[in-house]
Structure 1
Amino acid sequence: MLRLMKLELKKFKLGWYVKRAIIANIVILALLIFVSFVSQIEGDPEIRDPQAILLMASTLVRATFIIFGSVLIARLIISEYKNKTILLMFSYPINRRKMMSSKLAITATLTFLTVILSNILVVGVFFGIDSYFSILPNLFTVDQLTQEGIKLVPLAIATAGMSLIPLYFGMRKRSVPTTIVSSLIVVSIAMNSNPTFTTATFLPLQLALAAIGVVIAYYGIKNIEKEDVTV
């Protein structure tokens, strides 16, 4: 499996993913700073609360990389069916299920790692800027950062699972746009937020959606032998 994953990574040269992940982090950080400054001018205490900033950072990061996950699925799997290059891959003496498993493992693993690293990077840099420029009226407390750290891993695992949901829609239509649009629907459900309740930190829902993603991946791997690659 690891060997297949290495071959896939070498084949698709995922440097573009790293570059765009860095750009996404910069955009998220800039957005947090902008919102904080605007709320400072308008005197909105709710948005300037450190807990609100932590929630916003976590939500934006996870939403971004669910979409990135759909792009990975589109590139690693859907586009190969669409361009018929999957025919060449299936001509190799390699089990189809292992091949599909390696592609989905790359998607889930990269999503998990980038969510973890991006949260640490975005919050860490914002914390550093805030301690110097005093963007927020109150500093982040150790307890707030500790609680955020405790939630980070299970939420990152859930995000990795959710990133697999677009596989179902992409395989049905063999369409790259459908794959990516479906991730936007997942984000709208998983990261919905309003003044009274937010689904972004409601762990039971996050894990339920992740379980759906895992089931979709399982059946995608299980049924790969039956897929008509000529369609």
Structure 2
Amino acid sequence: MLQLIKLEMKKFNLGWYVKGALIATIILTALLCFGVSIALKENDLPMLAYQDVYVLIGANVRAIFIVFASVLIAKIVIEEYKNKTILVLFSYPVSRKKLIASKLMLITLLTFITMMLSNTIVAGLFSIINAYFPIVPFEITGNQFIGEITNIVLFAIASAGMSLIPLYFGMRNYSVPATIGSSLIVVAIACSYNPPFSLVTFIPFQLGLAAVGGAIAYFTIRNIENEDAI
């Protein structure tokens, strides 16, 4: 399986994804610093504690990389079916299930890792910038940041799972627009931030969506041997 994942990475040359993730992280940091500063001055964004900052950062990071994951799904899975290049893969003496599983595992791992790194970088940069140029009316310490690592990991796992939900819509008609469009719906539902109660912080709901994504991946892999790729 690991060898298949490596082959997929070479085949699709994922440098564009790494560059996109880096650019998105930098832009998000700048927008958050600027946006939060303006919103607080206008009293449009109630922030009472450092946890509110991390919730806002986490919501935006997860939203971005769920959409990124849908692009990966479209490129690595849906376009293979649409262009019928998947038939070449299925002609190899390798189980179809392993081939599709390797693709989905690659997407999930990339989403989880980049989401973790981006969330950590944005939160770290925001904390450093806030220390020198106060943005929020309270201090964000290193110990508070370390204390949030568990939440970052937990929500990244949940988001990596739910990022597979667009696979269902994309596979119905092998549609790239449906794949990416459905990810925006997932983001609108799962990453809504509306204090004092937000679905983005309700972990049972987040894990429920992750379970849905996992189920979609499971049934896609399970039924692949009996499906016509044309």
**Is structure 2 residue 218 aligned with structure 1 residue 218?**
yes
Partner of 1:81: 81
TM-superposition CA deviations, 1:13-62 (whole Å, max 9, x none): 00000000011111211111111321354356724853322111100001
C-alpha distance in 1 between matches for 2:18 and 2:12:
13
**Partner SS, residue 135 of structure 1:** coil
Given the two structures, how large is their TM-score scaled by the length of structure 2?
0.95
Say if 1:192 and 1:199, in contact at 8 Å, map to a contact too.
yes
Which residue does 1:27 correspond to in 2?
27
Q: How far, CA to CA, are the matches of 1:40 and 1:174 in structure 2?
A: 44
Deviation of 1:93 after TM superposition, in Å, equals: 1.0
Counterpart-to-counterpart distance in 1, 2:48 and 2:196: 18
Q: Aligned partners of 1:7, 1:205: CA distance in 2, in Å? A: 35
DSSP 3-state at the match of 2:200:
coil
Runs (5+) with no aligned partner, structure 1: none
Residues 149 and 84 of structure 1, relative CA distance in 2, 3 Å threshold: same
Question: Structure 1, residues 57-101: CA drift from partner, whole Å, max 9, x if none?
Answer: 100001111111111111010001001111111111111100000
Give the structure 2 partner of residue 116 of structure 1: 116
Please list every run of 5 or more consecutive structure 2 residues that lacks an aligned counterpart in the other structure.
none
Deviations 1:92-139 (A, max 9, x none): 111110000000000110111011101110011111111111222211
Identity %: 54
Q: 1:181 corresponds to which residue?
A: 181
Matches within 5 A, 1:53-202: 53-142=53-142, 144-202=144-202
Alignment CA distance shift 1:149-1:213 (3 Å): same
Q: Structure 1 runs of 4+ off > 4 angstroms?
A: none
1:32 and 1:53 in contact (8 A); partners too = no
Q: Which amino acid aligns with 1:149?
A: I
The answer (yes or no) to whether the contact 1:130–1:136 under 8 Å persists in 2 is: yes
Aligned to 1:16: 16
1:74–1:180 contact (8 Å) kept in structure 2: yes
1:179 partner SS: helix
- 1:170: Cα distance to partner? 0.6
Residue 209 of structure 1 aligns with an amino acid whose one-letter code is: L
CA distance in 2, matches of 1:11, 1:25: 25
Q: Residues of 1 paired with 2:86 and 2:45: CA distance?
A: 54
CA RMSD of aligned residues (A): 1.6
